[in-house]
Amino acid sequence: MSDILLQIDGKKVEAKPGMTILQAAQSAGIVIPTLCHHEKLESYGACRICTVEVEARGRTNLVAACLYPVEKNLVVTTRSETVDKIRRTILELLLAHAPGAPALQELAREYGAKEARFEKEASFCILCGLCVRYCAEVKKKNAIAFVDQGAKREINFIPEIAAKECWRCKECFPLCPTSYLQAAYFLTEGLAFPPSSASEK
């Protein structure tokens, strides 16, 4: 199939059919921030920090760049007053959950987000799902899972699987945009399977 021509920030970009706006932008060296995206994982659309403006068939919409497929003649704007405002608000909400997280603070500086705007509800996990999905989709181990719903939703290591698999892997650790994943692992390890017993399994 022939390439699809679209425009991103005024630049003509050729993309393969089936690519997302995020992939097309990345192929052209245009940076769109992400917090729940990983190139080895299915798109998830949880954080919405990748929101961009698209114009197609005379209409302008806000869409998640990591989910939205490229289309012929699409006009994409990755930075505008509206886009920046959305990203700023998202970051302020996330910082209330994970105050001090370096990945969030770096983006907060870029978008002028204020850490103190919303009342802190520090859970330290922003529910991006990178750890859960990486373990399931790439490692095929399912050692981490989401538990509960709504405000109580959180990630948990499954001790029986984690005891056997995680001590020699830990590939998910650097993916976490906050420090919660490592803390959750060491807590599970300390409570459910002391390190010396885990490595013997």
Q: Which residues bind ligand FES (CB under 6 A)?
A: 34-37, 45-50, 64, 66
From the list ligand SF4, ligand FES, none, pick the one residue 126 interacts with, judged by a Cβ distance below 5 to 8 Å according to partner type: ligand SF4
C-alpha 177/C-alpha 199 separation (Å) is: 27
Binding mask 118-157 for ligand SF4 (x = CB under 6 A): -------xxxxxxx-----------------------x--
Determine the 3-state secondary structure of 55 from DSSP: strand
Residues 178 and 125: beta-carbon distance below 8 Å: yes
Buried b / exposed e along 30-48 (16+ C-beta atoms within 10 A) = bebbbbbbbeebebbebbb
Q: Which is nearer to ligand SF4, 33 or 129 (CB)?
A: 129
User: Tokens 């885990």 sit at which residue?
Assistant: 198
Kindly tell me which residue out of 165, 178, 185, 198 binds ligand SF4, with binding defined by CB under 6 A: 178
107 lies in the site for ligand SF4, by CB under 6 A: no
Footprint on this chain of ligand SF4 (rule: CB under 6 A): 125-131, 155, 175-178, 180-181
